[in-house]
Amino acid sequence: MTHPTPAVTDHWDQVREAAEAVLGDEIVEYIRTAAAQPEPASELISVLHKVQARYGYLDTEHLDAVAQLLQVPAATVSGVATFYHFFRLNKPARYSISVCMGTACYVKGADKVVNRLQEELGIDIGETTSDGLFGLQQARCLGTCGLAPVMMVNDDVLSRVTPEAIPAILDRYAKQSRQDSS
């Protein structure tokens, strides 16, 4: 593979500027460095990681902009973004709760934790509460099996979670959110 060939779009300058405006300076700079590497197309996944780290998820307009700037077909970008579980295509909740469904957590009762969360939040797996505060997911093994069952709330890892502890945990984050906004 060679360096990206110059675009042949009629209004390339406008297209490029629009794409750059969507992604922001930091990511545009990252893509520029990536495009100068020997195999630019191979940087696609790391670019998507950057975008998700910055915006929390991958919107359709992000994907299109990445396709333009990296000069990779939009179908390829969308194919990659949908293939990998790690990439989110919808806006995440303020607090994203992932309950580990690894074997160790499962045998230690992670399913009961999920049930209780569903009950308390009134949402199903993959959904977000109407106020956008909590989202619920099942996670692949988080590799913290010794402390099973485990769940993550954003970047916090909570260990040895019991269904009884759920209401207090949710309260804590709801309170935190109120404090942050006030």
Interface with other proteins, residue 165, by CB under 8 A: no
Interface with other proteins, residue 2, by CB under 8 A: no
Of residues 118-137, those binding other proteins (CB under 8 A): 119
Kindly compute the dihedral angle of the four CA atoms of residues 173, 178, 181, 182, in this order, to the nearest 10 degrees: -140
Residue 136, SS3?
strand
Q: Name residues whose C-beta falls within 8 Å of residue 45's C-beta, 6 or more positions apart in sequence.
A: 80, 84
Give min distance, CB of 159 to other proteins, in A: 5
Interface with other proteins, residue 35, by CB under 8 A: no
> What is the C-alpha to C-alpha distance for residues 9 and 100, in angstroms, rounded to an integer?
46
Length of the chain: 182
Beta bridge partners of 152: 98, 157
| Pairing verdict, β 156-158 and 151-153 | antiparallel
Interface with other proteins, residue 148, by CB under 8 A: yes
Tell me whether residue 74 or residue 80 sits nearer to other proteins (CB atom): 80
Give min distance, CB of 11 to other proteins, in A: 27
Tell me whether residue 36 or residue 107 sits nearer to other proteins (CB atom): 107
Q: E strands along the chain, which residues?
A: 95-100, 134-139, 151-153, 156-158
What is the contact mask toward other proteins in residues 64 to 93, using x (rule: CB under 8 A)?
--------x---x--xx--xxxxx------
Tell me whether residue 132 or residue 167 sits nearer to other proteins (CB atom): 167
Interface with other proteins, residue 101, by CB under 8 A: yes
The answer to whether 48 touches 83, Cβ cutoff 8 Å, is no
Task: Using CB under 8 A, list all residues that contact other proteins.
Answer: 1, 39, 41-46, 48-49, 72, 76, 79-80, 83-87, 101-104, 106-108, 112, 115, 119, 140-148, 150, 157-159, 163-164
